[in-house]
Amino acid sequence: MYRAPRGTSDILPQEQAYWRYIEQKAVSTTQLYGYERIDCPVFEGTQLFDRSVGEDTDIVEKEMYTFEDRGGNSITLRPEGTAPVCRAYLEHGMHNWPQPVKLYYLTSIFRYERPQAGRYREHHQFGCEAIGDSDPALDAEVIDLAWQLLYSLGLHRITLQINSIGCKDCRPAYLAILKEYYAHGTPDLCPDCQARVVRNPLRLLDCKNPQCQSVADAAPKSVDHLCPQCQEHFSRLKEYLGLLSLPFRINHRLVRGLDYYTRTVFEIQPEAEGSQTTILGGGRYDDLIEQLGGKPTPAIGFATGLERIVLNLKREGVPIPPLPRPQVFIVYLGDAAKAKAIKQTAALRRKNIGALTAPGGKSLKAQMRQANALGIHYAVIIGEQELQTGTMILRDMTTAEQQTIPGEQLEDWLTARR
């Protein structure tokens, strides 16, 4: 038997209510903040991600789905959504649009990870990018949007963590101090961290290995080594978050797993005990557009994994509005009634009323059972007698109450009960 590839899932009809609920809320919330939708290709030239996400990150080193196409080009299935949006910003001359350009996306993301709960090889992200302004008020607005989105979905047991990791002027000096700290008295680091000391020292701070955590806890903090501009930016950000009444905590070990971040980084985590999995993450990436060949253009954004939101909604028992079902099931007895049922079902659909009728030669009882199993509110029964008198029996499937009405009144009757 064929199975879905490891780390991927089919999203079955009974799960779809969660997905539509999140998508609709995401779109309506983002629109309140002036974002417009962008859709980029599922694959891009590999170099785009090498350059932006960073050659020394887990994503580029070991998680990308990269292949050569038939034309000999190196292609990569998108492992994140920010770099494609920046590529599109440059390709379409969006620096000529009013700044900041605010874009959102809903896309599938591919990472060759070790699958576990909340971690998949194909997942789906909702992301927002605000490109073209460095004001910390924009950082606060983006963080507010992220928070409001999760909160309005019904996730109330969440925490917001922020940090500043400086800019290209002040970070080198901080990294030197961090390396110096790690060079002395840290023999027990995990093999990954031993490599990070040389190649990507910032990532030492968010190592999940227990033996590395106490070392990281006591490490020099980036916020103590910011240049005056970054310091000013960070203190303004905290002030604005206060204005917006957002409850944040500064996490000195928050550095994010992609190399393009500058200054502000943030994550939203579930409070639930033992669930360490980030629901949403983002930050500033003031140098990325320039790295990709554009003019210096500051920017900030975030993304959240839809699968992780679904997991948290289920864990928290958040009630989800059901998807609309057809309102009526037309049940018939005999061939003549069947013809009437087919016509009536079509007529209702043309009037925008969801209607079903059973194909095949099912008994009356079996048709009623089907209507019940599908959770349809009303059944309409057409038999010999109803055909002759031009009437229909209407049954409320929730109360089992029945009444007979003239056939031509059906549409109005159903419309009044929508």
Segment interacting with ligand HAM (CB under 6 A) among 20-28, 157-165, 277-285, 352-360: 277-285
**In the sheet that 66-68 helps form, which strands lie side by side, from edge to edge?**
43-45, 74-77, 66-68
Amino acid letter, 78: R
- Which listed residue (132, 294, 305, 326) binds ligand HAM by CB under 6 A? 305
Length of the chain: 418
> Is residue 38 within the footprint of ligand HAM (CB under 6 A)?
no
> Is residue 311 within the footprint of ligand HAM (CB under 6 A)?
no
Decide: 280 and 126 in contact? Cβ < 8 Å: no
Write out the binding residues for ligand HAM, residues 66-85 only, by CB under 6 A.
80-82
> Is residue 206 within the footprint of ligand HAM (CB under 6 A)?
no
What letter would DSSP give residue 154? T
Decide: 251 and 162 in contact? Cβ < 8 Å: yes
Residue 81 or 298 having the CB closest to ligand HAM: 81
Q: Spell out, one character per residue from 237 to 256, where the chain touches ligand HAM: x when CB under 6 A holds, - when not.
A: --------------------
> Is residue 395 within the footprint of ligand HAM (CB under 6 A)?
no
Decide: 279 and 270 in contact? Cβ < 8 Å: yes
Q: What is the 3-state secondary structure (H, E, C) of 263-321?
A: EEEEEEEECCCCCCCCCEEEEECCCHHHHCCCCCCCEEEEEEEHHHHHHHHHHHCCCCC
CA distance 155 to 271: 10
What letter would DSSP give residue 285? -
> Is residue 87 within the footprint of ligand HAM (CB under 6 A)?
no
Q: Spell out, one character per residue from 212 to 241, where the chain touches ligand HAM: x when CB under 6 A holds, - when not.
A: ------------------------------
In whole angstroms, the minimum distance from the beta carbon of 29 to ligand HAM comes to: 16
Closest to 78 in 3D by CA, of 24, 123, 115: 123
Residue 95 or 119 having the CB closest to ligand HAM: 119
Query: Which sign does the torsion angle of CA 155, 158, 163, 168 carry?
Result: negative
Residue 286 or 386 having the CB closest to ligand HAM: 286
Residue 56 or 113 having the CB closest to ligand HAM: 113
- Which listed residue (223, 235, 238, 257) binds ligand HAM by CB under 6 A? 257
> Is residue 287 within the footprint of ligand HAM (CB under 6 A)?
no
- Which listed residue (139, 259, 307, 386) binds ligand HAM by CB under 6 A? 307
Segment interacting with ligand HAM (CB under 6 A) among 29-37, 118-126, 211-219, 391-399: 118-126
> Is residue 100 within the footprint of ligand HAM (CB under 6 A)?
no
- Which listed residue (123, 171, 196, 340) binds ligand HAM by CB under 6 A? 123
Any bridge partners for residue 392, and if so which?
405
Decide: 356 and 363 in contact? Cβ < 8 Å: no
Decide: 263 and 167 in contact? Cβ < 8 Å: yes
> Is residue 120 within the footprint of ligand HAM (CB under 6 A)?
yes
Residue by residue, DSSP assigns 52-86 as HH-TTSHIIIII--EEE-TTS-EEEE-S-SHHHHH
Distance, first Cα to last Cα, the chain = 43
- Contacting residues toward ligand HAM, per CB under 6 A: 80-82, 111, 113, 118-120, 123, 125, 127, 129, 257-258, 278-283, 301-305, 307-308
